Structure formats: C-alpha cells, structure tokens
C-alpha cells in the first residue's frame, strides 16, 4: 500500500513556541490513521500545516507523490485534501441542503447564487451525501435546528462535497452524545470503505479510535511519542504516562 500522505520532519514554530518538532507520519492510501495526544501537543497545528493554512519552518509534506508544503489551502484542496474544524462550522440559518451547496468550490459566486444556480448533478450529489449520513429527512431543516451531533455529521457532508481523496477530521466526536458517536463512526467507516476516501482523524476518545483506525500516532509536546496499531498504542508505557493515564 503506497502512502497518500507523507509528512517528513515537519517543524512549525509560533515565536518561541515549537508547536511541531520534526514530525514524521505516513498515511497509506485507503487507510484510516489516528492522531492522538494531550491538549496543546500540536495536533491541530499539524493539520493546519498539512492543508496549507500556514507555512512550515522545516520538513516536507508529500501528497500523492507531490511536494505540497509551499502550496496554500485552495491549491491543496483542489488536489483532493479537505479538513474539518475542531469548532463546528455549519451555517445556522441555511438548510442542510444549502449548507452542502455552498460547500462546493465556486468562489466567484454569491452565496444565494450558489444555492439556486447549482447544476442538478450537484444537488443530486448533495442529496446522496446527506443520505449516506442518514440526514435525508433533514434536507430543509436549518443548520441551527439540528442537534450538535447532527451538525457534526453535516459538517462532514459539507467536506465531502469537495470530493476529497484525503479527509482530515479534527475531533469529529468531541462533545457528541454516545448514540450520535456511533452514527459518526458508521459514517466515517462508510466514507472510507464505500467511497474509498483515506482518513486522518484527530480524536481524544480512544474507544472511537480503536474502532476506526488501523494505525495511531501519539504526539506529546509537539513531537511523535509513539506510533503503532491501536492495541500497541493503548499498552505503550510512554503513551499511558503522557496521555492515556490522565484521561481516566
């Protein structure tokens, strides 16, 4: 299995803070890789570096065989890499369907035009994606009227409108109730298995990680502390001391 994403020796500083220090991480094509670590360990910073949100200070990032570390967000998105945010970002006054229609990359159109002038194929794709997330009964419901867990599902649907090959998810189940967590796990598995999309997932919930990821990377203080299968990671002494021990 070849790597869809290869992060090699990435360092990112904010003034005197070294948020990421020489991080290396591989994401094989078709896989689900997990990223864990204590608060402030540099997980979101690594996502921001990967998707081109800010320049890195050292290292390289290769996506599908191409060096992307000097590209910016729109170019990287066009290559097929899309992320979701730690803070949920759905448009509360718009319907679920409209939220999806404004997520397609048409930057030159106004919001209203993007909702009304989309080709039928785009609208149909939006409906299919909402069906995949079991949100088809909520097409016309306002984003703000969905439960928090449904908003998390909707946000993933919005990301799918960009037809990613690699989807980066920043704590997709944070703050979500246990029933909706199961729906989110099912959706992520479907996205991976049925749509063939590779996933890199930041997640604090180890139980979710055990069910999803084939490989887990644990960061601490901006560095890679350990990598391995979920079973290896949950029994790794350094990971337990730095992270898992503090969770329970």
Ligand X SMILES: Nc1ncnc2c1ncn2[C@@H]1O[C@H](COP(=O)(O)OP(=O)(O)OP(=O)(O)O)[C@@H](O)[C@H]1O
Q: By CB under 6 A, name the binding residues for ligand X.
A: 14, 17, 19, 37, 39-45, 86
What's the min distance (Å) between Cβ of 40 and ligand X?
Answer: 4
Q: Which residues of 154-192 are buried (b: 16+ CB within 10 A; e: fewer)?
A: bbbbbbbbeebbbbbbbbbbbebeeebbebbbebbeebb
Q: Which does 148 bind (CB under 5 to 8 A by kind): Mg ion, ligand X, none?
A: none
- Nearer to Mg ion by Cβ, of 44 and 99: the residue is 44
Question: Is the CB of 47 or the CB of 115 nearer to ligand X?
Answer: 47
Residue 74 to residue 76: CA distance in whole angstroms: 5
d(CA 158, CA 110): 17
Select from 4, 188, 156, 166 the least CA-distant residue to 81: 166
Query: Nearest distance from residue 81's CB to Mg ion, in Å?
Result: 18
Going by their DSSP bridges, the two strands 3-14 and 58-63 should be labelled as: antiparallel
Q: State how far the Cα of 135 lies from the Cα of 129, in Å rounded to an integer.
A: 9
Task: Residue 193: name its binding partner from ligand X, Mg ion, none (Cβ under 5 to 8 Å by kind).
Answer: none
Nearer to ligand X, 37 or 143 (CB): 37
- Taking CB atoms, the residue at the shortest distance from Mg ion is 44
For residues 43 and 125, which CB has a smaller minimum distance to ligand X in the complex?
43
- Cβ count near 68 (within 10 Å): 19
Task: Compute the distance between CA of residue 158 and CA of residue 166 in angstroms, rounded to an integer.
Answer: 14
- In the complex, minimum distance from the CB of residue 37 to ligand X, in angstroms, rounded to a whole number: 6
Residue 19 near which of ligand X, Mg ion, none (CB within 5-8 Å, type-dependent): ligand X
* Binding site partner of 17, from Mg ion, ligand X, none, Cβ cut-off 5-8 A by kind: ligand X
Strands laid side by side in the 66-67 sheet: 17-28, 3-14, 58-63, 66-67
Could you tell which of ligand X, Mg ion, none binds residue 41, using a CB distance below 5 to 8 A set by kind? Answer: ligand X
Quote the least distance from Cβ 38 to ligand X, whole Å: 7
Residue placing its CB nearer to ligand X in the complex, 45 or 192: 45
Q: Checking DSSP bridges between strand 81-83 and strand 166-170, what pairing results, if any?
A: parallel
CB of 27 to Mg ion, least distance (A): 18
Return the number of the residue (45 or 183) whose C-beta is nearest ligand X. 45
From the list ligand X, Mg ion, none, pick the one residue 37 interacts with, judged by a Cβ distance below 5 to 8 Å according to partner type.
ligand X
């Amino acid at each position: 299995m070849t790597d869809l994403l290869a992060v090699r020796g990435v360092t990112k500083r904010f003034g005197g803070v070294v948020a990421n220090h020489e991080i290396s991480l591989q994401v094989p094509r078709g896989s689900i890789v997990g990223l864990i670590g204590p608060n402030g360990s540099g997980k979101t910073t690594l996502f921001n570096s990967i998707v081109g949100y800010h320049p890195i200070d050292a290292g390289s990032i290769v996506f599908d065989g191409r060096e992307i570390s000097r590209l910016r967000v729109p170019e990287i998105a066009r290559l097929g890499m899309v992320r979701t945010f730690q803070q949920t970002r759905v448009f509360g006054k718009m319907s679920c369907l409209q939220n999806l229609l404004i997520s397609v990359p048409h930057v030159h159109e106004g919001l209203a035009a993007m909702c009304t002038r989309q080709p039928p194929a785009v609208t149909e794709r939006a409906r299919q994606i909402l069906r995949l997330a079991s949100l088809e009964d909520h097409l016309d419901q306002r984003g703000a009227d969905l439960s928090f867990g449904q908003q998390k599902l909707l946000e993933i649907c919005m990301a799918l409108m960009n037809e990613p090959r690699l989807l980066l998810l920043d704590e997709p189940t944070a703050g979500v109730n246990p029933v909706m967590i199961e729906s989110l796990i099912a959706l992520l598995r479907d996205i991976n298995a049925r749509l063939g999309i590779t996933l890199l997932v930041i997640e604090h919930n180890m139980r979710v990680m055990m069910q999803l990821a084939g490989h887990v990377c644990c960061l601490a203080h901006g560095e890679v502390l350990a990598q391995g299968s979920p079973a290896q990671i949950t029994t790794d002494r350094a990971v337990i001391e730095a992270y898992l021990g503090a969770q329970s």
